[in-house]
């Protein structure tokens, strides 16, 4: 198993715990490592994902909410919500990871750890959200979103 995949699985577990219990990020991470082992690369990347996702969750939740028609954050399963949050964190802040990789990893995590519909649900929300982020980036750079070329 690739270390980044393992790190995402670890981050999912800790983010789920944070969503359920009222504890600090540091306490949740320490609890996990008191019971499990992983290679250093997985530890480092999972910690980045956990801390970054949790510390930016208000902004992330707002983006998810604006991209999920008919679904409030409160209606989403905790597993799906944790996967979505982590993927949005990666899209916003992990510029070394191709967006397609982030989306595929999130969908795969949903299929493994979520319900039978989680993969499609996560795919739909992330596709809509990524399209909005890409359009905004193009607009910020003065690129016409229809032609892909610089504006006037």
Q: What is the pLDDT of residues 48-86, one digit of tens each?
A: 999 999 999 999 999 999 998 888 898 999 999 999 999
Residue 147 within a domain: no
Residue 148 domain-assigned? no
- Nearest residue to 84 via CA among 146, 127, 36, 138: 127
Cα–Cα distance, 92 to 69 (Å, whole number): 21
Q: Is 145 a member of any domain?
A: no
This model's pTM is above 0.95: no
Q: Is residue 150 part of a domain?
A: no
Question: Is 36 part of a structural domain of the chain?
Answer: yes
What's the Cα-to-Cα distance from 46 to each of 97, 116, 146, rounded to whole Å? 14, 25, 37
- Domain residues for 89? 3-140
**Domain assignment present for 40:** yes
Number of folded domains that form the chain = 1
pLDDT in tens, 90-120: 999 999 999 999 999 999 999 999 999 999 9
Residue 45 lies in a domain: yes
> Which CATH number do you get for residue 121?
1.10.940.10
- Of 17, 67, 72, 9, give the one whose Cα is nearest residue 39: 9
**Does any domain span residue 98?**
yes
Question: Which pLDDT value is given to residue 70?
Answer: 82
């Amino acid at each position: 198993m690739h270390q980044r995949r393992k790190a995402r699985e670890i981050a999912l577990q800790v983010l789920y715990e944070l969503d359920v219990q009222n504890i600090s990020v540091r306490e949740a991470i320490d609890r996990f490592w008191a019971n499990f082992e992983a290679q250093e690369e997985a530890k480092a990347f999972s910690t980045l994902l956990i801390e970054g996702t949790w510390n930016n969750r208000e902004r992330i939740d707002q983006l998810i909410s604006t991209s999920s028609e008919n679904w409030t954050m409160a209606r989403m399963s905790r597993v799906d919500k944790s996967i979505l949050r982590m993927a949005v964190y990666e899209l916003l802040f992990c510029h070394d990871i191709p967006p397609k990789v982030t989306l595929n990893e999130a969908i795969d995590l949903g299929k493994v750890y979520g319900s039978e519909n989680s993969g499609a649900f996560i795919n739909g929300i992330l596709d809509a959200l990524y399209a909005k982020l890409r359009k905004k980036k193009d607009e910020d750079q003065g690129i016409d979103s229809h032609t892909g070329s610089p504006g006037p």
